[in-house]
């Protein structure tokens, strides 16, 4: 009887997931001037935000890359970082004493209106020909995560990392 209780339980599989992919010996190289950037969003009056989702200020920035592996046909970019409280698609502000609250930083495609949610790849572009460079353009904006009554003033800084995403 005890042996029957110790016998392994039978498990049945309901499906199978196969993972596939490719590891390249080098894909594209980010140009040094794009690898670490400072993007100034300036000073904004909290009155610019009335409702959650309101946007204020904007600053363009770009990531330039080159030397792409011939196997790469399309290049996009994925941003990662601490998500904003109240909206995990936005970049959260750096936690510090006296930091602003109720606002995050939205990272948008070059059109300034299409949000690139954290952890999601951008629209992307065709990979540059051998020996050429290419540029992905974006716009950063402050975005309210709450209505004006929950927004407080203070430093509104954030840090994002980015990864090139291929094909």
Per-residue pLDDT tens for 69-81?
Answer: 888 999 999 999 9
Model confidence at 14, in pLDDT bands (50, 70, 90)? Answer: confident
Q: What is the pLDDT of residue 27?
A: 85
Query: In the predicted model, what is the mean pLDDT of residues 12-39?
Result: 85
Q: Does some domain include residue 25?
A: no
pTM above 0.75, yes or no: yes
* Structural domain boundaries, residue 108: 45-150+157-166
Per-residue pLDDT tens for 81-123?
Answer: 999 999 999 999 998 888 999 999 999 999 999 999 999 999 9
Assess contact for 74 and 167: CB atoms under 8 A: yes
Percent of the chain scored above 70 by pLDDT?
93
Q: Does some domain include residue 8?
A: no
Q: What is the pLDDT of residue 150?
A: 93
Q: How many domains does the chain have?
A: 1
Nearest 5 degrees, angle CA 113-CA 84-CA 155? 95
11 vs 41: which has the higher pLDDT: 41
Q: What is the pLDDT of residue 11?
A: 67
Q: What is the pLDDT of residue 3?
A: 53
Q: Does some domain include residue 20?
A: no
Assess contact for 73 and 167: CB atoms under 8 A: yes
Q: Does some domain include residue 120?
A: yes
CATH label of the domain that carries residue 77: 2.60.40.1090
Q: What is the pLDDT of residue 4?
A: 54
Q: Does some domain include residue 28?
A: no
């Amino acid at each position: 009887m005890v042996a029957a209780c110790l016998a392994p339980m039978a498990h049945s599989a309901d499906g199978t997931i196969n993972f596939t992919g490719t590891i390249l010996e080098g894909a594209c190289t980010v140009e040094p001037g794009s690898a670490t950037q400072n993007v100034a969003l300036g000073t904004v009056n909290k009155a610019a935000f009335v409702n959650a989702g309101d946007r204020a200020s904007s600053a363009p920035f770009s990531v330039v890359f080159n030397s792409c592996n011939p196997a790469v046909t399309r290049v996009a970019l994925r941003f990662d970082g601490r998500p904003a409280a109240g909206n995990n698609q936005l970049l959260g502000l750096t936690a510090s004493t006296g930091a602003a609250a109720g606002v995050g930083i939205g990272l948008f495609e070059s059109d300034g209106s299409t949000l690139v949610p954290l952890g999601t790849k951008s629209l992307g572009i065709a990979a540059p020909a051998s020996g050429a460079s290419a540029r992905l353009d974006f716009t950063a904006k402050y975005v309210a995560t709450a209505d004006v009554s929950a927004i407080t003033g203070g430093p509104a800084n954030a840090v994002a990392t980015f990864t090139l995403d291929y094909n």
